[in-house]
A and B are shown apart, each in its own frame.
Chain A
Amino acid sequence: MDALQSSLLHQSALSYAYPLYRNLLDNSIVFLYHGPITPDLVVDILSLVENRLDDTGEDRRISKKLFNIMVESFSLGEDVERGHAVLLVRQLPYLYTVAIGRRIASSAVYQVKAFLDWVNTLSPEALREAYQRQLEKDDPRNLSLVGGVPAISILDLARKSHGILNYNFEYLNDSDTFFSLEARLQKTI
C-alpha cells in the first residue's frame, strides 16, 4: 500500500460528499459517470437520461440530439486498455454540453490535437463530406484511429453538435495524457 492509498484509508468519504455535490451544483452538472464504458452500461445510462429528459419536459428534438451526442461520446470513451472514462452532462440556460474524458497515449496528443483543429475549421457541408469519406473508407473490423481515438466518432460528434468541439489535454506522465472533449448543443436549434 502506497502513501496515497494509506491516507485514503484514513479519510472518511463524508469529507468529499459535500464538496463534490457543491461542485456539481455550481457547474450545472446534471449527470456524471466515472468508470469503464461497456455497451450494457451505455444502454442503462441512456435509458436513465431519456427518462429524466422526458420528466423535465425537454423538447423531443433536443432530447434526441442530446441522446445521439451521448451515444457517440460513449464510443470515444471505450478503451479498456487505458482504464476508466468520465462522462458528464451540463445543463445551462441555453445549451447542454456533453464532455467525455479518458486517457490517451502522451505520444498521440499532437495527432489528436491536429485532427480536432482541422475538424473545427470545417463548414457543415465539408464536415458532412469528411464524415461520408471516412464512413466509406473505414474497415468495419478496424475503424481508423487518430491517436487511439476513432476518427469517425469525432467527425460524427462535430456534425451532431453543429459547432466547435472544445478539447483539453492534461499531461499525466510520459505514457498517459488525460484527453477531454466537449460537444455543445444549443437548445434553440
Chain B
Amino acid sequence: MEALRIESTHKTPRVILDPENGIFEFSGRSIPEDSVGFYTPIFEWLDKYAQQPLPLTHVRFDLEYFNTSSSKNILEILKRLEAIHAAGHEVRVTWYYDEDDEDMEETGQDYQALLNLPIELSVKVQS
C-alpha cells in the first residue's frame, strides 16, 4: 500500500499517512474550501489501511486552528482509527496543543470523551 502525502497549504493541513512505519501525521490549519473533497481521499485511504493495519500505529495531530466543519471530519478520521484499535491493532494518538490555546486542549478532551481510543493530550514544545 502506498503512502498518502498531502502538502500543507495556507488553509489545509499537511497529511502524512505512512503505512510502512505506521506513522500518521496531521499538522497545520484546516479551513478548506471543500472539506468533503479534502477529507474523502483520507477516509478512503484509512479504510484500505484498516484491512491490513500494522500492530501499532502512531497518529499525531498538531493543528494550529480549524473550523467546526473540519472538527467533524477529524472525528470521522478518529472513528476509523477507533475501529482499527477495537479490532486488536494498537493505535496511539497524540493531540498536541499550544499551552496558551485552551480551546485546542478542550477539543482534544472532547475527542477523548467521544471515543474509545487512547488519545494523549500533549503541550507543544516551542521551537
Contacts and interface: CB of A to CB of B under 8 A. Distances in A.
A128 B113 CA distance: 10
Nearest to B34: A39
B100 A143 contact: no
B101 interface: yes
Contacts, number: 78
B99 to A, nearest CB: 9
B100 A43 contact: no
Interface stretch (A18-26, A66-74, A100-108): A66-74
A27 to B, nearest CB: 27
Interface in B100-119: 100-104, 106, 110, 113-114
B11 interface: yes
A90 interface: no
Contacts of B69: 75, 140, 143, 150
A136 B75 contact: yes
A71 B75 contact: no
Interface stretch (A81-89, A153-161, A171-179): A153-161
Interface in A49-92: 60-61, 63-65, 67-68, 71-72, 74-75
Given A40-B11, A64-B101, A143-B68, A135 B110 contact: yes
Contacts of A140: 35-36, 39, 69, 72-73, 76
A135 B75 contact: yes
A132 interface: yes
B54 interface: no
- Counting contact residues on chain A (CB < 8 A from B), the size range is 20 to 34
Contact of B72 (A43, A128, A138): A138
B48 interface: no
A158 B51 CA distance: 40
A42 B72 CA distance: 19
B19 interface: no
B9 to A, nearest CB: 9
A9 B114 CA distance: 57
Contact of B31 (A61, A71, A139): A71
Given A43-B11, A60-B100, A136-B114, A153 B65 contact: no
Interface string B63-84: 0011111011101100000000
8 contacts: A64-B101, A65-B103, A71-B67, A74-B67, A128-B106, A135-B75, A140-B72, A150-B68
Interface of B: 10-11, 29, 31-33, 35-36, 39, 65-69, 71-73, 75-76, 98, 100-104, 106, 110, 113-114
Given A61-B100, A74-B67, A143-B72, 6 more contacts: A39-B11, A39-B32, A65-B102, A75-B68, A152-B72, A159-B106
Interface of A: 38-40, 42-43, 46, 60-61, 63-65, 67-68, 71-72, 74-75, 128, 131-132, 135-136, 138-141, 143, 150, 152-153, 156, 159-160
